[in-house]
Structure 1
Amino acid sequence: MRIAYLHSGSIPSVFANGVHIMRMCDAFSAAGHEVTLYATPGSHPADDPYAYYGVRHRFPVRRVPCPDYTPAGYWKRAEAVRDLLIRDGVPDLLYGRDPYSLSAAADLAPFVYEVHQLRDDLAPAGMERDLLAQPRLARVVVITHALARDLQAAYPGPGPLPVLVAPDCADPVDPATTTALPELPGRPDAPRIGYVGHLYDGRGIDLIIELARRLPGFDFHLVGGTPEYRARWEESCGLPNVHFHGHRPPADLPAYYPHFDVVLAPHQRKVYTWGNLFEIGRWTSPMKIFEYMAHGRTIVASDLPVLREVLQDGVNCLLCPPEDIDAWAAALNRLVADEALRRALGDEARRQVLDRYTWRRRADDVLAGL
């Protein structure tokens, strides 16, 4: 099948949506589909986006600039995307998270709309409702059951939306393609506690710093974060057992996981995107959790309903209330002291990813029957 993936963001970039979209295009390609990605020009100076993201297939990436990041600018870009789709040859399926381009091209081919949050920033008002009422809408893909329920409630319509819940995923680990990582800073004999992801508000970075203060015998490593967010946390931290590694290309992250004894997902009840533009805590499906699982790492995560859609306390992780620092410290002490428990939780997490949460399986699921 010929698929056009419509994305309103830049490739490459430092943002998680770029990782998700490149992994999905890679998985579509692995399934034998002919995929072209339509994105905006990259906001990261990587020379080779395929190497930067660590994807296996070199599907075409067509970059369509946005004149300005306002609704008027997005609509103007959407018309340019529509014209390009016609010139390239109308595909069998449109797929994407860009409601503007999907709206502009909705009459050209059947389309799948992927949604990761409820949007209140689209213009004109009602455009998403109109998009969901288009006759060629084939499926709506969401990342959590919580989001599926909220989307159905927001757009009741004459009948239920064709919604499919497909959580985020990870690729199986291939040791042959994992580059070696130089020794991490810190003490070689100290337990290493890792966090991989952005440093935005609501990601629990303050909780990690407090854990480091309470557990001076452990070294904490935070991998990720744009320069401005890294500077903000690093300047206020001042602890010798906390190490900020900054943003790394997604292709380099697999080298870090084997160095961590325990990994953290300390999401708070409210979770924000870059610049606090959106609050997504109710619906989030963090990719880093699935990557932790794929690498067989032992996870301590926040006990939140949306994370319980994937995580099971005492089965594939330990869960702690996000505001209970004593519980988090106790969980880390318990895991560091019990290697057998760490191994059992990590092995079960890896098994579940391979069985349920690979990008290739997700690609097959979201296209099934289309």
Structure 2
Amino acid sequence: MRIAYLHSGSVPSIYANGVHVMRMCDAFADAGHHIELYAVPGAARTDDLHVYYGTRNRFPVHAVPLLTASTFGPLLRAQRVRRRIRRGPMPDILYGRDPYALLAAAGAAPVVYETHLLWPDRAVRGVERLLFRHRALTRVVFVTQALAEDYLAHFPQLRARTDVELVTASDGADPVPPTGPVAALPGRPDALRVGYVGHLYPGRGTDIILGLAARLPDADFHLVGGTDQDRSHWQGRNSRPNVFFHGHHPPAALPPYYRAFDIVLAPYQTTVGCAGGFGDISRWVSPMKLFEYMAYGKAIIASDLPVLREVLADGVNCLLRAPADTAGWAAAIEHLGADVSARQALGDTARHQLNTRYTWRARVDRVLPDRTLAATTGQP
């Protein structure tokens, strides 16, 4: 089946939405579909987009720039995307996270809209209302059940449309081999290695990690990711010799870091910022880092937020602690640091759950059910 993936963000970029989109396109290709991505050209430097993200498949990526930052910018870009698509061959499905482009191109094929947050922008919500009324819409994919519930509360017309499927599909990760290169981390070779991978936006818990480093001087803390500006901000507030900021690395370069960590952290707070610094996504967040932690069989300590309990279970595949309880987080690290078998048990369960429930390939099957494939391809 031919799928056009319409994305309003940029690739390559340092942001998680680019990773998500490239991973999903890769999984669509793994499933045997012909996938083409339409995205904003990125500012990140790379000679090869697929090498940067570490994809297994090489699929076409069409760069359609946003020519103006005004309110009309997304509308004008959407029209350009539609024209590019109509040059053919025509897709069987329009899939994506760009409501503007999906609405503009909706006459070309059935539409699947995926959303990761309840947009605070009134203009975007207006476009979504039009999309939710369009006869081409076949399903809406929500990244968490909490987000699905909020969308139904804000857009009651979705509940009334019996011809539109509403699907909840968490983020995911690819299974990884049990062995591979391990990063040579700075610090003490015999110290417990506590890792964090992700951005350093407000609400991501960087201050909690620095507080943990002060409480646990015998452990080394490694933070991988963040913009140059955010990293400089937190480095300027750190005086601990057991904290190491590794900066942003291409997604394809992260596996050695995951393998090097003994324990990994996801200290999301009760208010969580996202790319661009706007909004609060704490109620709906589905962090890819959690699933990547699971894929590598790491012992996870995460914030006890209702949305994370859609995937995580305390004492089963992780340890959950109150977001701001630094003492509780420190005690959890000390417990896992002293009990290798407990770390192994949590990591093994997490890896098994990832491999059986949360792979990108499994997610493709969830967002494109068999009955839809049959309807769009004419197969029985």
Match of 1:143 in 2: 143
Q: Secondary structure at the match of 2:223?
A: strand
Amino acid at match of 2:168: V
Helix, strand or coil: the match of 2:117? coil
Alignment partner of 1:123: what SS? helix
* 1:125 Cα deviation from its structure 2 partner: 5.9
Q: What secondary structure sits across from 2:5 in the alignment?
A: strand
Does the CA contact (< 8 Å) of 1:173 and 1:295 recur in 2? yes
Q: 1: distance between equivalents of 2:69 and 2:255?
A: 33
Q: Does the Cα contact within 8 Å between 2:129 and 2:155 map onto a contact in 1?
A: yes
Give the paired residue count. 368
Kindly report which structure 2 residues correspond to 1:116-131, keeping only aligned pairs within 5 A, or say none.
116-123=116-123, 126-131=126-131
- How far off is 1:126 after superposition? 2.1
TM-score, length-scaled by structure 2? 0.95
Tell whether the 8 Å contact from 2:120 to 2:279 is kept in structure 1 after alignment: no
Structure 1 residue 71, shift from structure 2 partner: 2.6
Q: Distance in 2 between matches of 1:107 and 1:354?
A: 37
Q: Is 263-272 or 60-69 further displaced after alignment?
A: 60-69
TM superposition score normalised by structure 1: 0.97
1:192/1:219 contact within 8 Å kept: yes
| Match of residue 31 from structure 1 | 31
Instruction: Show the counterpart of 2:166.
Output: 163
Tell me if the contact between 2:272 and 2:280 (Cα under 8 Å) persists in the aligned partners: yes
SS of the aligned residue for 2:324 comes to coil
Which residue pairs with 2:114 in the alignment?
114
2:160 aligned counterpart, secondary structure: coil
The answer as to 2:319 corresponding to 1:318 is yes
- Aligned partners of 1:305, 1:114: CA distance in 2, in Å? 21
User: Over the residues paired in the alignment, what is the CA RMSD in angstroms?
Assistant: 1.3
SS at match of 1:256: helix
**Which residue of 2 is the match for residue 219 of structure 1?**
220
Contact kept, 8 Å, 1:30 with 1:57, in 2: the verdict is yes
Moved over 3 A (4+): none
Alpha-carbon spacing, 1:298–1:278, altered in 2? closer, same or farther (3 Å): same
Matches within 5 A, 1:44-123: 44-123=44-123
Alignment of 1:1-370 (within 5 A): 1-123=1-123, 126-157=126-157, 159=160, 162-174=165-177, 178=180, 180-368=181-369, 369-370=371-372
| Deviation per residue, 1:10-59 (Å, 9 max, x gap) | 11100000000000000000000000000111210111110110110000
| 8 Å Cα contact 2:116/2:143 also seen in 1 | yes
SS in 2 for 1:32: coil
Query: Cα offset for 1:9?
Result: 1.2
1:112-145 deviation per Cα after TM superposition (whole angstroms, max 9, x unaligned):
0000000121527622111111111011001101
Contact 1:71 1:122 in 2 (8 A): no
Shift of 1:278: 2.2
Distance 1:57 1:122, change over 3 A: farther
Q: Is the contact made by 1:218 and 1:241 (CA closer than 8 Å) also made in structure 2?
A: yes
CA apart distance, 1:358: 0.1
Alpha-carbon displacement from aligned partner over 1:202-236 (angstroms, at most 9, x marks no partner): 00000000000110110000000011111110111
Whole-angstrom distance in 1 between the partners of 2:94 and 2:82: 11
One-letter amino acid of the counterpart of residue 247, structure 1: H
The one-character-per-residue Cα deviations of 1:244-269 (angstroms, maximum 9, x if unpaired) are 00000000111111211100000001
Worse-superposed segment, 157-166 or 318-327 = 157-166
Relative distance call for 1:31 and 1:102 in structure 2 (3 A) is same
User: 2:184, 2:255 → 1: CA distance?
Assistant: 14
Offset, 1:181: 4.3
Moved more, 275-284 or 118-127: 118-127
Gapped runs of 5+ residues in structure 2? 373-380
- Flag the 1:329–1:183 CA change in 2: closer, same or farther, 3 A: same
Q: Residues 125 and 200 of structure 1: is their aligned pair in 2 closer, same or farther, counting only changes over 3 Å?
A: closer
Asked whether the equivalents of residues 122 and 128 of structure 1 are also in contact (C-alpha less than 8 Å), the reply is: no
Larger deviation: 289-298 or 253-262? Answer: 253-262
1:292-332, CA deviations, whole angstroms, 9 ceiling, x for partnerless residues?
00000000000010000000000000000001111101100
Name the % identity. 57
Residue range with higher mean Cα deviation, 159-168 or 346-355: 159-168
SS of alignment partner, residue 20 of structure 1: helix
Is the deviation greater in 184-193 or in 275-284?
A: 275-284
**Which amino acid in structure 1 is aligned with residue 238 of structure 2?**
C
SS of 2:107's partner is: coil
